[in-house]
Amino acid sequence: MMHNNLFLARQPILDRAENIFGYEFFYRNTSGECLIDDPRHATAAVLVNLLNQIGSASMFGDIPAFINTDGPLLLTNILRTLPKEKFVFELSASMKFNGRIYEAIRYYHSLGYRFALDNASFHPDYFEAFSTLFPFMEFAKFDVMQTDIEQFNFLPNPYGKMKLIAQKVEFYEMAEAYTSLGFEYFQGFYFARAHLITQRRIDPQYVEVMSLFSLLQNDATIEEICDTFKHQSILSLQLFQFLRSVHPEYIEGIVSIREMIERFGKNALMQWLLLLIYSKSGTKAIDEKNSHAVFAQCRIDRMVFLLQKISPDFTKSQMEYIYFIAMLSLLEGLMNIPMESLLRTLHPTYEIEEALISHTGVLGRIYAASLKMESGDVNGAAILLKSYGVSPETISSWRP
């Protein structure tokens, strides 16, 4: 049975004045449980759920998001698609390091990406494994339940240049003790528990993601890529939400899916698809297509059908506008993004804005008629398109 909801946990990190400094996001499986079999999958799933589906604006806004990071993920260029100022990548004490991962961290640090040691320790084995990374670390997080606080008083402190975070703080006395040691940030039940976030899943089919990735590996043209996106509506929705989350400048003023893809670039698109593959996003839908994907594709196909009936000699730009208006309307309906918020980000043309808000102009009438058809109101759709010569019989002839 398909799981229709995604789960993600969020816990604030506070400064000494108990202002929220950042949020840490935790993986949860499709049952809402913290069971991690594959760390790479867990990291990718957190990023996909956070950026492709829920959106960064409501989850962390302009403050840093702390993400537990898997070593092999650092060997890809996926991080390059993410803005360095928005994220802090935590390195687990259980992570297996080698020379390639060291070089990847050094490289990303040189670009301005931020890292934190998770569950840092004074144990000699920890020093042996992690000390070469200390110059690249901005934060060190200590589990107060596993740390002997006296060690900070009697041992040389190799973490002195890092900003220190006390985590799993459960009592006032713990917070006070670590404040006196110079810790700047705090996280734990005493301040706030991790909050479980759930939202309707909007996943592409895994085979569709793999097919597009293969297409890009074979140096597909922009026309081939755009054609695939037009027929895989959920991929279009997720890419738009991802760019809205991390690169809103890429979607400002765009008027088509093609323009969105061109601005992002083929290389970045490949890394984004790789993130989807690692997250195993859509694997539950290999044999059965997600009902939201069917709904989304039907709206797009219905609007294209109506455009073809109104203007058999329609222009390429009209067709691009139809796909784009359909996608924006689906973002509001399926991903709960208010249309006003979308339009503030996009700054679209007057024609697109009027179509979406006032349902005016030929594109707006097509959109309004499509909504009528979705509710089974054939006559209502025909009334909207009567002046364009579209009859109820023509509307009734449409088939998914």
Query: What residues make up the domain containing 128?
Result: 5-199
Alpha-helical runs (H) found in 198-315: 206-217, 222-231, 233-246, 257-264, 266-279, 291-310
- 125 and 214 in a single domain? The answer is no
CB-based contacts of 283: which residues, under 8 Å, 6+ apart?
206
Structural contact between residues 190 and 175, judged by C-beta atoms closer than 8 angstroms: yes
The CATH number of the domain holding residue 65 is 3.20.20.450
Within 13 Å, how many C-alpha atoms sit on residue 319's CB side? 14
- 175 and 225 in a single domain? The answer is no
- 131 and 274 in a single domain? The answer is no
Strand pairing report for 163-167 and 139-143: parallel
- 31 and 97 in a single domain? The answer is yes
Domain boundary residue, one of 199, 231, 249: 199
- 73 and 25 in a single domain? The answer is yes
- 332 and 185 in a single domain? The answer is no
- 268 and 347 in a single domain? The answer is yes
Tell me the C-alpha distance between 349 and 346, whole Å: 9
Structural contact between residues 21 and 15, judged by C-beta atoms closer than 8 angstroms: yes
Domain boundary residue, one of 175, 199, 223: 199
Return the bridge partners of 8, or none. 27, 197
Residue 288: per-residue pLDDT: 55
Structural contact between residues 113 and 84, judged by C-beta atoms closer than 8 angstroms: yes
Domain boundary residue, one of 151, 180, 199: 199
> Tokens 């596993």 sit at which residue?
146
Tell me the C-alpha distance between 32 and 166, whole Å: 26
Which of 347, 366, 342, 351 lies closest to 317 in space, CA to CA? 351
Look at the alpha carbons of 293, 296, 297, 298 in this order and tell me if their dihedral is positive or negative.
Answer: positive
Apex CA 325: angle with CA 253 and CA 285, to 5°? 110
> Tokens 């890092």 sit at which residue?
162
Query: Within a 10 A sphere around the Cβ of 31, how many other Cβ atoms?
Result: 9
Q: Spell out where the chain has E strands.
A: 5-15, 20-27, 65-69, 87-91, 114-117, 139-143, 163-167, 185-186, 195-200
Tell me the C-alpha distance between 49 and 117, whole Å: 23
Mean pLDDT, contiguous 10-residue spans, the chain (400 residues)? 78 97 93 81 93 92 94 91 95 90 96 96 90 96 92 80 95 94 95 93 85 93 92 91 94 93 96 92 51 87 94 88 92 86 88 93 95 95 95 92
DSSP 96: P
Return the bridge partners of 7, or none. 198
DSSP 49: I
Query: Within a 10 A sphere around the Cβ of 397, how many other Cβ atoms?
Result: 10
Tell me the C-alpha distance between 241 and 335, whole Å: 9
- 173 and 286 in a single domain? The answer is no
How many residues are listed for the chain in this entry?
A: 400
- 215 and 195 in a single domain? The answer is no
Structural contact between residues 266 and 216, judged by C-beta atoms closer than 8 angstroms: yes
Return the bridge partners of 66, or none. 24, 88
N-term to C-term CA, the chain: 24
Residue 205: per-residue pLDDT: 81
Question: What's the pTM value of the predicted model, to 2 decimals?
Answer: 0.90
Q: How far is CA 340 from CA 107, 327, 331, 346, 347, in A?
A: 40, 15, 12, 10, 10
- 329 and 186 in a single domain? The answer is no
Take residue 215 and report the two structure tokens written for it. 């297409």
- 169 and 219 in a single domain? The answer is no
Which of 30, 54, 48, 61 lies closest to 336 in space, CA to CA? 54
Residue 3: per-residue pLDDT: 61
Return the bridge partners of 285, or none. none
Take residue 171 and report the two structure tokens written for it. 């009592």
- 91 and 156 in a single domain? The answer is yes
Number of separate domains in the chain: 2
